[in-house]
Chain A
């Protein structure tokens, strides 16, 4: 059994670049975060903040020409018989047998758009059975049993007959459940869910979030939940990392993020969303400007030009680093610099 106070996955100073003809897009710029066993890490940020690229870097399924140019992705593998081994995913070849056994096996991935993540020309059943037999030595019939059980476990009615359906015959909510069923058959220790409910309606979203929590309680897997929706984060996450333009700007337990945010970006983000359970219809506080294009990152702190607390000569001169301001609460902002 693994000790639970050690992270199961630790991403350190990850840098992922996309060298294009027009210039290099720095999608992830030195991001660090930890995933604890059995817990949910929420990664939140707006489009282009690098949250999906970070997740895809962990799985080593980056679209070309994306490449990891720096940092470590340390994964603690359970080798059975209470022995453990820490491997660096970032240094593996993306086609090596080792990463193939981790990808879809120990670390599973749920995509945002369930319509495109299943093949439309194979039945759901065949795809799940293939996934099972890829990671386990089991007969076709045995794998079919496992598949039926998995579909049942995620609450798909008439699981046996659903095996013969194609993905387009399922509704969005059922498709996303089938996707989760497929990832669960290999008993992953980490489930990475990239905007798993964004394409779903709010009632389907509620069903799916409930399902994910139940599965986590039953299987004890860690979840990395990537989303732009602060409501989903508040509901699901134990610990939250806020990303902006490829960097983690704040990292704290979920309660601290919502009730004691420190970084000006986190604060502004929380103020800018309308809340359904509040009586006030006050004007929303908005963040001025827009997320800069990754080609022309601002000098110094990436959030500087949009920040209310911008300090000329300081924030545009050097880049702040993530540092602890309170126990397990890290912020990357000069406002909290010891030197002041």
Chain B
């Protein structure tokens, strides 16, 4: 496997630099390209080994596309995705091809949002969960069956269920099946894209607890993509916030929720209704709509909705910089603004 020149500091499992993914907008009979949607527009972040990084933002902010680039479900337009394999080699996922890419796929697995459409209704649990093993030519038929039984037990389902079809299971159980499939190859990194948002509240807690347990047991690293900030806060060690294809802030969870430095993060946090009628907090109501990623505004993409915007914000695009230890912000006024979070320090 080719090892890239770039280095990856020891505690990091993944490092994404200047990641871009543009989708062409095609129009007319000849499918002429008339523009581009900047779905991911220069994103930088890293994930440490064994931690959970929450990636949040509103619909269309590019969080799912970012996750898909890491999985190479889509090919990034630009940028670097450094990843440490289980052989302790550092590879750039963005440029891998063929057999090398296939090899890395066993290290990075995905948990999908919708437990109803992500499982093939014509495949038994044995086939669904055993498929990754088959694709990577691991073990004999009996070995695979044993491994599937083990995985089912691990996610809290009975091994006897392995010859059943998905329709026999509830939403929460199906999500457990999806988790078992993701774990079949012993991955290092699990990308979970909205894994609990399709589940009922009472079942959501079961799946979140299972994910935490499995992380401890197997030393997994999670990239947890979600729009529900309460869930993200609960499960993540660090949180990254995206807005219109860019990362606007990244910090350890408690710090981000207690002292946000980006006005968008502060607005996002304040907008979450608290399940307690006695804490009616001051909500920051953002004016207007999320910018169009095919035609973003000048300067800082957030400036038309930002109550702190100055002339500079309209002209210059801010870059993500580390303002205190581990706290990254992309805002011209990050140092001077004092914004309110939702957690006491």
Interface residues of A (CB under 8 A from B): 46-47, 171-174, 201-207, 209-210, 228-235, 237, 254-255, 258-259, 268-270, 272-279, 281, 283-288, 290-291, 306
The listed residue (A173, A234, A259, A272) touching B202 by CB distance below 8 A is A272
Given the known inter-chain contacts A174-B289, A210-B285, A290-B171, please indicate yes or no for A276 contacting B205, CB distance below 8 A: no
A255/B278 contact (C-beta < 8 A), A274-B230, A276-B229, A290-B171 known: yes
Q: Which B195-247 residues have a C-beta within 8 angstroms of A?
A: 200-206, 208-209, 212, 227, 229-231, 233-234
Please indicate the chain A residues that have their CB under 8 angstroms from the CB of B119 in the complex.
none
Q: Is the CB of B202 within 8 A of A201?
A: no
* In the complex, chain B residues whose CB is within 8 Å of the CB of A232: 273
Does B267 reach chain A (CB closer than 8 Å)?
yes
Nearest CB of chain A from residue B269's CB, rounded to whole Å: 7
B288 to chain A minimum Cβ distance, whole angstroms, is 8
Shortest Cβ gap from A111 to chain B (Å): 19
> How far, in whole Å, are A152 and B257 apart by their CA atoms in the complex?
35
Q: Which residues of the other chain, A, contact B204 by a CB distance below 8 angstroms?
A: 272-273
Which chain B residues lie closer than 8 Å to A277 at the CB level?
274, 276, 279, 281, 342-343
The answer, among B208, B233, B257, B275, for a CB contact under 8 Å with A258, is B275
Q: In the assembly, what is the distance between CA of A230 and CA of B254, in Å?
A: 23
Q: How far is the CA of A27 from the CA of B276 in the complex (A)?
A: 29
Query: Assuming A201-B58, A201-B59, A275-B275, is B202 touching A284 (CB within 8 A)?
Result: no
Q: Which of B172, B273, B274 contacts A290 (CB 8 A)?
A: B172
Say whether A258 contacts B276, CB under 8 Å. Answer: yes
Please tell me the size bucket of the interface on B: 35 or more
Question: Within the assembled complex, what's the spacing in Å between the Cα atoms of A276 and B233?
Answer: 7
Tell me the bound Cα distance from A272 to B200 in angstroms.
11
Residues of B within 8 A of A285 (CB): 205
Q: A276-B233, A284-B234 given as contacts; is B275 within 8 A of A291 (CB)?
A: no
A293 — nearest CB in chain B belongs to which residue?
B170
Given contacts A202-B268, A255-B277, A268-B202, 14 further A-B pairs with CB under 8 A are A47-B200, A173-B289, A202-B58, A231-B272, A234-B275, A234-B276, A255-B278, A259-B278, A275-B276, A277-B279, A277-B342, A279-B254, A287-B206, A288-B206
Q: Contact flags (1/0) for B317-345 with A, using CB distance below 8 Å? A: 00000000000000000000000001110
Decide if A46 touches B172 in the complex (CB within 8 Å): no
Find out whether the CB atom of B173 lies under 8 angstroms from the CB atom of A290. yes
Contact of B344 among A47, A174, A279 (CB under 8 A): A279
Nearest chain B CB to A39 CB, angstrom units: 14
Task: Give the shortest distance, in Å, between A154 (CB) and chain B (any CB).
Answer: 14
Whether the pair B273, A209 counts as a contact (CB closer than 8 A) is yes
| Cβ B229 vs Cβ A201 within 8 A | no
Q: Is the Cβ of A231 less than 8 Å from the Cβ of B275?
A: yes
How many angstroms from the CA of A281 to the CA of B52 in the assembled complex?
14
Cα distance, A47 to B289, chains bound together (Å): 30
CB-defined A-B contacts under 8 Å, sample of 20: A206-B271, A207-B285, A207-B286, A231-B230, A234-B274, A234-B275, A234-B276, A254-B277, A270-B275, A272-B202, A273-B201, A273-B275, A277-B279, A278-B343, A283-B209, A284-B205, A287-B206, A290-B170, A290-B171, A290-B202
User: Is B283 engaged at the interface, CB distance under 8 Å to the other chain?
Assistant: yes
Contacting pair A272 B205 (CB below 8 A)? yes
Q: How far is the CA of A171 from the CA of B281 in the complex (A)?
A: 27
Chain B residues with Cβ below 8 Å from A273 are 201, 204-205, 230, 275
Closest CB-CB distance, A268 to chain B, in whole Å? 7
A287-B202 CB under 8 A given contacts A202-B268, A210-B285, A277-B343: yes
How far in angstroms is the closest Cβ of chain B from A67?
Answer: 26
Q: What is the distance, in angstroms, from B277's C-beta to the closest C-beta of chain A?
A: 5
The 6 closest A-B CB pairs, nearest first, are A231-B273, A274-B234, A286-B205, A201-B58, A206-B271, A287-B202
**Could you say which residues of chain B place their CB within 8 Å of the CB of A207?**
285-286
**B-chain residues with CB within 8 Å of residue A269 when the two chains form the complex:** 201-202
Which residues of chain A come closer than 8 Å to B206, judged between CB atoms? 286-288
In angstroms, Cα B280 to Cα A288, docked, is 31
B275 with A230: CB separation less than 8 A: yes
A258, B209: Cα distance in complex, Å: 23
- Nearest CB of A to B226, in Å: 11
Given contacts A273-B205, A274-B231, whether A206 and B200 have CB atoms under 8 Å apart is no
Q: Nearest chain-B residue to A157 (Cβ)? A: B288
> How distant is B154 from chain A, measured CB to nearest CB, in Å?
17
Q: Give Cα A273–Cα B343 distance, bound, in whole angstroms.
A: 17
Contacts of B289 in A (CB 8 A): 171, 173-174
Q: List A contacts of B273 (CB < 8 A).
A: 205-206, 209, 229, 231-232, 234-235
CB closest residue in chain A, given B273 = A231
The answer to whether residues A210 and B283 also contact, given A171-B289, A274-B230, A276-B342 and a CB cut-off of 8 A, is yes
Q: Name the contact of B269 in the complex, choosing from A272, A276, A290 (C-beta under 8 A).
A: A276
Q: Are A276 and B208 in contact (CB under 8 A)?
A: no
Cα distance, A54 to B343, chains bound together (Å):
38
A278–B279 CA distance with the chains assembled, in angstroms? 12
CA–CA, A172 and B171, complex, Å? 26
What residues on A are CB-neighbors of B212 within 8 Å?
283
B234 contacts A281, C-beta separation under 8 Å: yes
**B280 partner residues in chain A, CB cutoff 8 A:** 235
Is A284 a contact partner of B209 (Cβ separation < 8 A)? yes
Q: Which residues of A contact B275 (CB under 8 A)?
A: 230-231, 233-234, 258, 270, 273, 275
